[in-house]
Amino acid sequence: LAETASWDLEAIEKSARVAAIEASALGINWTFAPMIDISRAARWGRVMEGAGVYPYLGSKVGVARIKGFQGDDLSSHNTIAACAKHFAAYGFAESGKDYNTADIGTSTLYNVVLPPFKAAVEHDVKTVMNSFNVLNGIPATADEFLQRDVLKKKWDFQGFVVSDWGSGREMIDHGFARDLAHVAELAANAGSDMDMESYAFVKHLKSAVEDGKV
């Protein structure tokens, strides 16, 4: 947020470039950044990680950071893959409560929430992270509309989608999935490619494929 307040896109890109050089020197080749959630709720605990309330500026800042992290050639030894997060509407969680429900109309979704992600895809971000929250009744990790219809089909995203930390398992807490086996089925079918810290894919994806559920 402090970087965004500078309005200096060149400095923001250089900041990410330095981070990529230092991280890659330690053997790290992927970062969970930039966070490009637009949020209008100051009490939400992650506002400082994002780029404020304006989708245009948020898009510009996100692209600058992606360019800094990934450089011109991701095969170069001093670059790291970027990850646009959190897809989608994490910053619109009700009451500013993390992991909560977001219930927004299509105008807000398409004109405020999605533009930074579309810009990220257009500038070749390699990965996208889905989000903890429920959007209009569906946990993002199991949201086929977001991950398949919009991201992979409409925008032709060729990278992969990683779940947020334990967001698959949390679909049980949301009352959307019965158990981890159901989590694996729902997430994979919806377009979530990598299951972070729920262990649903590791334990249940093979059998879900063999049973014809995925």
CA separation, residue 195 to residues 93, 149, 165 (Å): 22, 20, 8
> Both ends of the chain: CA-CA distance in Å?
40
Strands 138-139 and 134-135: antiparallel
Q: Which residue among the candidates 72, 164, 193, 195 is catalytic per the annotation?
A: 164
Q: DSSP label at 162?
A: E
Q: Is the peptide bond before 88 cis (omega within 30 degrees of 0)?
A: yes
Nearest CA among 197, 77, 60 for reference residue 120: 60
Report how far Cα 6 is from the mean position of its chain's Cα atoms: 24
Q: In 32-96, which residue ranges form alpha helices assigned H by DSSP?
A: 55-70
Q: Which amino acid, one-letter code, is at 58?
A: G
Distance of CA 57 to the CA centre of its chain: 18
Q: 10 Å Cβ neighbour count for 202?
A: 11
73 is catalytic: no
Active site residues: 164
